[in-house]
A and B are shown apart, each in its own frame.
Chain A
Amino acid sequence: MKNKIVIPVAALLVVLIYLLSSLGPWGSRGGGKNVLRLLSTETDPASVEIMKRLVTEFERTHPNVTIATEFLGFEAMYPKITAGIAAGAPPDIVGITNEETLALASRGQLEAVSSLIDAIGRDDFFVGALGEYEGEDYYVPYAMSILNLYYRTDLFEQHSLEPPKTWADMLRVCERLTLDHDGDGTVDLYGTAIPLGNGQATVNFFCTLLFSNEGHILAPDGSLVLGKGENRLRVLETIRFIAALARFSPPGSLGYEWKDLTAQFYAKTVASTYYAGRVIGLTERHAPGTPIGAAAYPYAKHPASATFSDGWAIVAGSVNRALAGELIQHLVSGQGYIDFLHTVPLHMTPPRRSVGSDPRFLANDFVQRYAHIKRVIDATANDAVNILAESGTMQPKAADIIKSQVIEEMLQRVVSGDATAEDALDDAVAKLKDILGE
């Protein structure tokens, strides 16, 4: 009786294990070809589709090469790379931001790709897109995130408001647009959405405002100047401005990241938001017919924009470095590359001027419909500063600061009334000194 159960279960198990093992690494995959592993963090289905097409094209022109492409979110990136390095089997090419690039490059985990940048045309890149570390480039940027103020033009027109230029304008505009339509004590529309959650968005936002106030986090020599001398006053002004602005942002701002900013905008609960071009496409899908405008983010002393780029990097230890370089060049050139950028149009901003002005890039319907926003993006891209390279070269400490969540907690404490700007800044400086070993 028992065998009636044991034997079928055992048989089923054997079949299933056979199925599993046939999909294992000892299967027929690769078949003696060179296998390149490519890890991409662009997981939008449209981007995935184009990436697969680009990879197939490359395999067609390189019959002895197989590309194993993997699409994973940013969250999975570090565990994946770490485990790969530890086991001696990291991916060959990774698509990462300049922040991750710096962390990996400063630890000798990436190959220099300066020759690739030179081959593509160094001068063609926007200054903010590139970032050298110890005289070498470690990633080939394929897209820049150009951050601006996106707003609903219908509401601005309705209230006879112009897009704000300075911090004072911004506060005035947001106050006008924060409305309780039905008078029930619940705000129905907020003037803006700002990111204050734990994540890159908050640091980017803080840096954009701080740079516009001529403030700095790190000195050119790489030392921490956040709480020093005159710079301290500029930092405090920036913190206080953010706290003032938070009054006109939904109470959930303390947890907002990129995706929350877009969601608030297309859910029509805010009149404006800080973000990049993706907000346009998402609003078209979720709230069609909503008119959108864009402007440089309001400044204190002069316009500034802290930006970051996504790029392809070659992991140290890749056995097919030359091939990896060829693949990267293929991924950032030709019609395929432009199609890839169009999968999230005006969000994946071309890091090269020639691509941004390429007739094939401009021929896109979406780009043409939002030509007025593209002009704003182009202007911002020209002056954008690489968030990790305030003073020209990338500082490894900047990556550590971004990852530490100290900036986010400093802002959260002030905005929630848990601490004064001075106390929060002093605590943050103490924590950062500990982290940076100063």
Chain B
Amino acid sequence: MTKLPGQVLDRVPRVFCAYVLPKLATVLFALSFLVLILPLAYLLALSFTDTDTLTMNGSFVGLRNFQRVVQDDTFWLAGWRGVLFAAATAAAQVALGLFLAVKLTRPFPGRRLVFALLLLPYAVPIVAMSAIWRWMLDGQHGIISYFMRVLHVFGANTDILNSPTTALAGVIAANIWYFYPFVLLFIAARLSQIPAAQFELAETEGVPRRRQFWTITLPHLAKTLGFLFVLRFLWMFNKFDSVWLLTRGGPIGTTENIPVLVYRECFHALRLGRAAATVVLAVLFLAILAITYRLSSPLRAVVFRRGLCWCRRIAAIARSRIRIRSQLRTTSFALWMRRQVRPSPSLLFAAVVLVFPLLWTLVSAFRPLDDLFQQPPSLIPRYATILNFSELVAKTDFVRQLLVSCLVATVSAILSPAAALGCVYVLRRAPPLVSRLARPLSLSLYAVPPLASVIPLFVLFARFHMTDSLLGLSLAILTISLPFNIWFLLAQLRSLDAHYEEAAILDGVSAYRRFVDIVLPAIRPSIVACCLFTFLLAFNDYLFAVVFLHSADRLTVSVGMANFVEASAVHWGHLTSAVVAVSTPMIILLLLGYRFLGERFVGVSVASSVGGNK
């Protein structure tokens, strides 16, 4: 039979998708792991040398660096402080993210905007917000300190970030604020994958909200919350910029964690070898923690099963009564819908508190400079002005930097999840041992601090003339985003119902088609979450941009904004207006992202219930 031209053309993309893409995915997988592993190997090699940071010269010294590091009390103190800081911030971020995500499942007018506003802290460059947090927490003229004085929360003359007793608490509070949106984003994605029928049934049975949360939501989220806690712990343990910019590890070293110690070793003491040894020991510690987490899975499984058991019981009871009470169900659902149009007061309170730093920045951006430091601080400006914005546009390269950042972030947001999907596709078909090792391995790579991998990566990229290139920067950002994306997508796949795929296998559907037609649609919210995460990460990146780029016309907005915070002065007008200017497109992006992620996520119960009624 002769093929029509249209059919021939139709086959080209199919052949491409069925044969070329899987091969491409394999290559991507190999390249990704190579790019991720090389800096680690380089770092390990450096740790056995006495390499000087500024000359890069050094000789083999065996285990001497490790010996010196473990004999130093500072290392153990920094480690302990790092554990405390990471555990506190990770736990609080997960708790806050969970609270907000669950509260946001209820529909109310302006929900999208609240969702976007709540994600915003993650989008604003840390270097800018750190200066603003320092200002707000200043003991003499900071607005938060002023409120605390009025409310008698702290003593009259307390300066939170600069007091040895409160500095760590201040740093923890700021870091919870910076990063809770990350958790919110991923819990939101996971919530959207909970079968809506369970909420519907519980609702028709009159199961109270609180009980629904404990018996349905939490058991479903248990694994994700565990993952997120571990991830946030690893990430916060490696956190450098948000600690350094707030306190530089002081006062009296009370906020010094391992990355700050590494930075000081590397760029102050100029002992790159010893800094590398410190990183290697820290990564080992994190790897032990990750393995412990992995080994504790039977215990976690028991908790998880118990939760699910409750969930099933409710579903069973509901199923037996659903027909009898169909009329009642309609009535109760209508009541429930009416109840939902009001946002939860606790959500509104939390949103106001969490958005306050940005609100303060917004108000400050429209203030004249001589009104910024009035005593006592006031939320109402003497008069509003747009001078700060006009100066920002006229006297700086802000607009170009913003466009460059958007470009880099967009490419990264496509490249990284695409590469992660390629890796996931390959790993699902790999031998069981490789597949089993993939998750802990990607988790271990996530444990390598970016500060430690930036120099080896730069050297590597320089060999291929990819420094001072935005494409090179996007690829470098892959090294920090890819491990997480692989790990998260693998975790999501594990929680998928295997029956559909098994049925497809019985029908003789190819692996590629199963992946595209079954797996991808099922994890779509997670992919969107990965895209958003990577976009925000790339947009916010400072370290890689500052090292990899050097032409003035290629600087990103976070580097540009960092220049508003000089050693001797802060350009408040430029800084606050830049934060507002950056936030505006971010809100639009997050509203768009919400269309793909949020609609299903927040409307999960309602949509299904309405569908059920029909």
A interface residues (Cβ-Cβ under 8 A, vs B): 2-3, 6-7, 9, 12-13, 16-17, 19-21, 23-26, 29, 37, 39, 43-46, 48-49, 68-76, 78-83, 85-89, 91, 103-104, 107-109, 184-187, 190, 196-200, 250-260, 262-264, 266-269, 275-276, 278, 282, 285-288, 347, 400, 403-405, 408-409, 412-413, 416, 418, 435
Nearest A-chain residue to B458, judged by Cβ: A83
Cross-chain contact B414 with A73 (CB below 8 angstroms): no
* Minimal beta-carbon separation of B248 from chain A (angstroms): 4
Nearest B-chain residue to A262, judged by Cβ: B569
Cross-chain contact A70 with B563 (CB below 8 angstroms): no
Q: Which residues of A contact B454 (CB under 8 A)?
A: 79, 83
Number of A-B contacts (CB under 8 A): 272
Cross-chain contact A25 with B267 (CB below 8 angstroms): no
The 13 sampled A-B contact pairs (Cβ below 8 Å) are A3-B17, A20-B469, A23-B469, A49-B395, A73-B563, A80-B547, A85-B56, A89-B467, A252-B140, A259-B569, A285-B369, A287-B373, A405-B264
* Minimal beta-carbon separation of B249 from chain A (angstroms): 6
Q: Is B375 an interface residue (CB 8 A)?
A: yes
Q: Which residues of B contact A16 (CB under 8 A)?
A: 407, 410-411, 414
CA distance in complex: A288, B391 (Å): 19
CA distance in complex: A190, B157 (Å): 11
Q: Which 5 A-B pairs have the closest CB atoms?
A: A252-B159, A255-B162, A87-B462, A24-B469, A43-B563
Q: Which residues of A contact B391 (CB under 8 A)?
A: 45
Interface members, chain B 449-487 (any A CB < 8 Å): 454-455, 458-459, 461-463, 465-472, 474
Cross-chain contact A108 with B55 (CB below 8 angstroms): yes
Q: Is B242 an interface residue (CB 8 A)?
A: no
CA distance in complex: A69, B554 (Å): 11
Pick the residue among A17, A69, A250, A286 that contacts B471 (CB under 8 A). A17
Cross-chain contact A286 with B372 (CB below 8 angstroms): yes
Q: Is B574 an interface residue (CB 8 A)?
A: yes
CA distance in complex: A43, B454 (Å): 23
Say whether, besides A7-B13, A72-B563, A251-B162, A435 and B269 are in contact (CB < 8 Å). Answer: yes
* Minimal beta-carbon separation of B454 from chain A (angstroms): 7
A-contacting 9-mer, from B250-258, B497-505, B606-614: B250-258
Q: Which residues of B contact A259 (CB under 8 A)?
A: 565-570
- Known contacts A23-B554, A278-B568; 9 additional CB pairs below 8 A are A24-B469, A75-B562, A76-B559, A82-B56, A87-B458, A89-B462, A259-B566, A264-B140, A285-B370
Say what secondary structure dominates the interface of chain A: helix
Say whether, besides A186-B149, A285-B370, A72 and B546 are in contact (CB < 8 Å). Answer: yes
Cross-chain contact B459 with A286 (CB below 8 angstroms): no
Cross-chain contact A25 with B159 (CB below 8 angstroms): no
Cross-chain contact B370 with A287 (CB below 8 angstroms): yes
Q: Which residues of B contact A108 (CB under 8 A)?
A: 55
CA distance in complex: A254, B161 (Å): 9
Pick the residue among B267, B411, B571 that contacts A78 (CB under 8 A). B267
Cross-chain contact B140 with A267 (CB below 8 angstroms): yes
Cross-chain contact A73 with B562 (CB below 8 angstroms): yes
Q: Is B212 an interface residue (CB 8 A)?
A: no
Q: Is B415 an interface residue (CB 8 A)?
A: yes
Interface members, chain B 386-413 (any A CB < 8 Å): 391, 395-396, 404, 407-408, 410-411
Nearest A-chain residue to B164, judged by Cβ: A416
Q: Is B138 an interface residue (CB 8 A)?
A: yes
